[in-house]
Amino acid sequence: MNTSPKILIIDDEAPIRTSLREILEYENFQVSEAEDGAEGVKLATKFAFDVVFCDIKMPKMDGLEVLQVLVENGFKGHVVMVSGHGTLETAVQSIKQGAFDFIQKPLDLNRILLTVRHALDQGKLEKETERLSRQIHTEKSTAIVGDSKQIQSIVEMICTVAPSDARVLVTGENGTGKELVARQLHELSTRHDGPFIEVNCAAIPSELIESELFGHEKGAFTSAVKQRKGKFEQAEGGTLFLDEIGDMSPSAQAKVLRALQENRISRVGGEKEIEINVRVVAATNKDLRKEIEAGNFREDLFHRLAVIPIHVPALNDRRDDIPLLVDHFLRLICDQHGKVLLGVTQEAMDMLTSANWTGNIRELRNVVERLVILTPKGSEIDGKLVDRFGSLS
């Protein structure tokens, strides 16, 4: 698969497009062309380009209009404006509107390549800044908390497996943090700049799951009034998290298996095959081997998904982590509610540690949030409060 930077040339003059294409393709860039502004906007909003060269004087839609539309639509690449009638005023206006640079015709080979390199370097810097920002957020809100052997083993496995594209099957009871494991796999992977797309297979009716995963063409069924991309396409270049995979319909299982085998999908009602580049992480609270024996789950799909199995233990099986989790949730929730960080008495912590957490970490977080809200200002969370408000029953 070609991973070279992608460049779009928008210019109504064919000789200019040809000249630019030859220069850029010689440097191994992927190049696309548009002969007017409207076509350029259509391509730039449909596909991801790293750099766009856009002429200013064009029929139908001039370059400054193109630039304005791309900026308003959140285009993530860099736009370089090109003009044979350039003035300082035009250049300044372009930069103010969001252009990365301004180049005058006739085009100079070294100037073009230098601009492209600077734009690509700037793009990498912006992506890294975004990644670090996301990592800081992850460390604050979605870090895997725990010192128990089970949790440390999971963290080590994530760190080992994340850089690869190996598929991972995460198992465990509801509320144990399976999604958290999936998100950490994505954040620490080489795909961290790509999207993380989640699908709850149990929450989508069986008759809609295929459309949700693979998309559909206009007219594929009664309510399909326009073409729609599915989750596989939305996750292109990133990670697709299939939560509660054990609840997927047999028909959808067959299509997912084919997608994993061939790295291709077809939208519902469509004949065209679409190549995909997606890492799949699946999760379930069911015993899939028992589901296979019962005829509810495909064994071949199980083996495709479970290249790396990770089991997340129930909270009752890792009670040593409860004080750490309580402290973690206290900081997060007090910050969210604007309350001064509360203390927890030893009696209260002992009660929380010994409780029966059938809802696992999700239940613990809800209880801590309730205690934070209901504890009087300036008071600690004590045993009486836990006894009164610490149960979900």
184-202, pLDDT tens digit by residue?
999 999 999 999 999 999 8
Helix axes 346-354, 322-337, angle to 10 degrees: 110
Over residues 47-72, the mean pLDDT reads: 90
Q: Which carries the bigger pLDDT value, residue 168 or residue 71?
A: 168
Query: Residue 320 carries which DSSP code?
Result: G
Q: Report pLDDT digits (tens) over 323-380.
A: 999 999 998 898 888 788 778 999 999 999 999 999 999 999 999 999 998 888 878 8
Task: Return the bridge partners of 79, or none.
Answer: 52
Pairing outcome for strands 273-275 and 264-266 = antiparallel
Distance CA 372, CA 379 (A): 10
Q: What is the pLDDT of residues 258-288, one digit of tens each?
A: 999 999 998 888 888 899 999 999 999 999 9
Domains, the chain, ordered by start: 6-125 (3.40.50.2300), 142-313 (3.40.50.300), 316-389 (1.10.8.60)
**Which of helix, strand or coil describes residue 7?**
strand
For the stretch 152-158, contacts whose Cβ atoms lie closer than 8 Å and that sit 24 or more positions apart, written own/partner, are: 154/181, 154/310, 154/312, 157/308, 157/310, 158/184, 158/185, 158/188, 158/310
Contact 132/139 with Cβ under 8 angstroms?
no
The whole-angstrom separation of Cα 47 and Cα 49 is 6
CB atoms within 10 A of CB 346: 10
The answer to whether residues 245 and 282 touch, using CB atoms and an 8 Å cutoff, is yes
* Rg (alpha carbons) of the chain, rounded to whole number: 26
Q: Cβ distance 9 to 21 under 8 Å?
A: yes
Lowest mean pLDDT among 151-165, 235-249, 290-304, 325-339: 325-339
Contacts of residue 49, Cβ cutoff 8 Å, sequence gap at least 6: 6, 7, 8, 32, 43, 77
Residue 169 dihedral angles phi and psi, to the nearest 5°: -110, 115
Give which of 64, 60, 97, 59 is closest to 82, Cα–Cα: 64
In the block, residue with structure tokens 């943090």: 177
Q: Maximum CA pair distance of the chain?
A: 81
Check residue 393 and give its pLDDT.
Answer: 46
pLDDT digits (tens, 9 = 90+) for 111-159: 999 999 999 988 888 776 665 544 444 444 446 888 899 999 999 999 9
Average pLDDT, the chain: 88
Alpha-carbon gap, residue 373 to 352, rounded angstroms:
17
Instruction: Let me know: does 204 contact 214? Beta carbons within 8 Å.
Output: no
pLDDT of residue 1: 53
**Rounded percentage of the chain residues whose pLDDT exceeds 90:** 62
**Residue 310 confidence class, pLDDT cut points 50, 70, 90:** very high
How far is the C-alpha of 189 from the C-alpha of 237, rounded, in Å?
Answer: 11
Which candidate, 203, 207, 267, places its Cα nearest to that of 232?
A: 267
- Cα distances from 47 to residues 41, 63, 123, 275, 332, in angstroms, run 10, 19, 16, 14, 38
Consecutive H or E run containing 241: strand 239-243
Contact at 8 Å (CB) between 286 and 243?
no
User: What is the CA 333 to chain-centroid distance, rounded?
Assistant: 25
Q: What token pair was written down for 62? A: 């001039």
In this structure, how many other beta carbons lie within 10 angstroms of the beta carbon of residue 181? 24
pLDDT on residue 379: 84
pLDDT tens for 37-50 read 999 999 998 888 99
